[in-house]
Amino acid sequence: MKRTVFCLLLLMSALPLLAQTHARMMLWDSHERHPLIWQVEFDGADSLLATYDAIYGHGPMLENDTYALRVYAQPWPRIDLYGKSGLKGLELPETAFYTTPQQLAQGYGADALYVGPSIGVGSLLPWDGNKSIPFSPVERRGQRVVYSTADSCAVEVYVKGFQFQGQSIDLVQRLSMRRGDDWTQVDAWITGSKPDSLTFCTGIQRMQQDLGHLTSDGKAETWGSNAPEKDFNVGVRLYFEIDKRYIVRQLDAEMSTLYIVRARKGHLRYRVKATTTLWKRQTN
Nearest by Cα to 59 from 77, 82, 35? 77
Q: What is the pLDDT of residue 279?
A: 56
What percent of the chain is predicted at pLDDT more than 70? Answer: 87
Give 214-258 pLDDT, tens digit per residue: 888 899 999 999 988 876 778 999 999 999 999 999 999 889 999
Residue 5 has pLDDT above 70, yes or no: no
Residue 278 has pLDDT above 90, yes or no: no
Helices (H), the chain: 2-18, 48-53, 92-95, 101-105
CA 199 to chain centre: 21
**Where does the pLDDT of residue 49 fall: very low under 50, low under 70, confident under 90, or very high at 90 and above?**
low
Give 130-152 pLDDT, tens digit per residue: 999 999 999 999 999 999 999 99
Please give the helix or strand (H or E) that residue 35 lies within, else none: none
The helix/strand count (H/E) of the chain reads as 4, 18
**Where does the pLDDT of residue 8 fall: very low under 50, low under 70, confident under 90, or very high at 90 and above?**
very low
Residues 10-47 as b or e (16 or more Cβ within 10 Å = b): eeeeeeeeebbbbbbbbeeeeeeeeeebeebebebeee
Nearest by Cα to 87 from 68, 101, 73, 66? 66
Residue 6 has pLDDT above 90, yes or no: no
What percent of the chain is predicted at pLDDT more than 90? Answer: 63
Q: Which amino acid is at 266?
A: G
Length of the chain equals 284
**Where does the pLDDT of residue 57 fall: very low under 50, low under 70, confident under 90, or very high at 90 and above?**
confident
Give 106-127 pLDDT, tens digit per residue: 889 999 999 999 999 999 999 9
